Chain A
Amino acid sequence: GAVVSQHPSWVICKSGTSVKIECRSLDFQATTMFWYRQFPKQSLMLMATSNEGSKATYEQGVEKDKFLINHASLTLSTLTVTSAHPEDSSFYICSARAIGGYTDTQYFGPGTRLTVL
C-alpha cells in the first residue's frame, strides 16, 4: 500500500509554544490530506481537510487560527498548533488520499503524540 510519514512522531513542549507537524506521502501524490485528532480511548475526530494549493476546510468546532494547515505541495501538508496548551495534548494523525481505479483510499501516517506541559 501507499506510505505516509509524519514528523515528529512525538513532541513535548511548554504551554504557549507552537508546534509544527509534517505529513508526507512518500510514494504517491496526494491532492487531499486529512488531519485527525484522537484522545485516549476515544474515536478518531476529523479536524480538517487539506487541499493542495487552497485553503483547508475545517470541521465544526475546530479553530482555524489555532490549527494552521498548509498544503504546499502534492506530497506535503503541515499542521501547526499555535500557542499550545495542555488541553491540546493528543494524538494527531494525518491521512493522504490516494487516487484509485474505482474509489480513492485514505492511508494514514503513523501519528504524532503531542504533550503540552
Chain B
Amino acid sequence: QKEVEQNSGPLSVPEGAIASLNCTYSDRGSQSFFWYRQYSGKSPELIMFIYSNGDKEDGRFTAQLNKASQYVSLLIRDSQPSDSATYLCAVLKGGSQGNLIFGKGTKLSVKP
C-alpha cells in the first residue's frame, strides 16, 4: 500500500461547481496534512494544512480530515477555470521535524 494515495484523475467539473479531491494515507500516526496546488510547469504552492479532525475553511477551499478513516479531502467551492491544476496531498512523516510524503496528485480541470 502506498503511503499517500490520490486518484490521478483527471477530475473534470463545470465552472461554479464544487470540486472534491480525496486522499488516503497509510500511517495512522500521521498528524499533519497539507494540500498543494501545482500548475503545469510550475512548482507546488501551499493551499492549506490541517491537523485536527473536522473541517478547516479558507476562502473557497475547505480541507476535511478524518483520522479514524485515514482520509483527508479538499473541497473547492465555486470552481474557476484558474483552479485547473494538479492538487498534491502531502502527509508529514516523522513528527514535526519530518519529511513530507506526497501523493501523485489529482489533475483537476474546470470547464468554462
Contact = CB atoms under 8 A, between A and B. Distances in A.
Interface of A: 1, 32, 34, 43-44, 46, 49, 91, 93, 95, 102-111
B9 to A, nearest CB: 12
A68 B109 CA distance: 38
B43 A109 contact: yes
| 3 interchain residue pairs of minimum CB distance | A103-B32, A111-B43, A43-B104
Nearest to A106: B100
Contacts of B90: 106
A44 B6 CA distance: 14
A77 to B, nearest CB: 15
A85 B98 CA distance: 31
Given A43-B105, A103-B32, A108 B44 contact: yes
A90 B104 CA distance: 17
18 contacts: A34-B99, A43-B102, A43-B105, A44-B44, A49-B99, A91-B43, A95-B100, A102-B32, A103-B32, A104-B96, A105-B34, A106-B34, A107-B46, A108-B43, A108-B46, A109-B43, A110-B42, A110-B43
B42 A43 contact: no
B49 A105 contact: yes
Interface centre among B34, B92, B100, B105 (most CB of A within 10 A): B100
B21 interface: no
B3 to A, nearest CB: 12
A31 to B, nearest CB: 9
Nearest to A42: B104
A41 B106 CA distance: 12
Contacts of A32: 97
A95 B96 CA distance: 16
B62 interface: no
A107 B92 CA distance: 13
Given A44-B102, A104-B96, A106-B90, 12 more contacts: A1-B46, A32-B97, A43-B105, A44-B44, A91-B43, A103-B49, A105-B46, A106-B34, A107-B46, A108-B43, A108-B44, A110-B42
Interface centre among A1, A32, A44, A49 (most CB of B within 10 A): A44
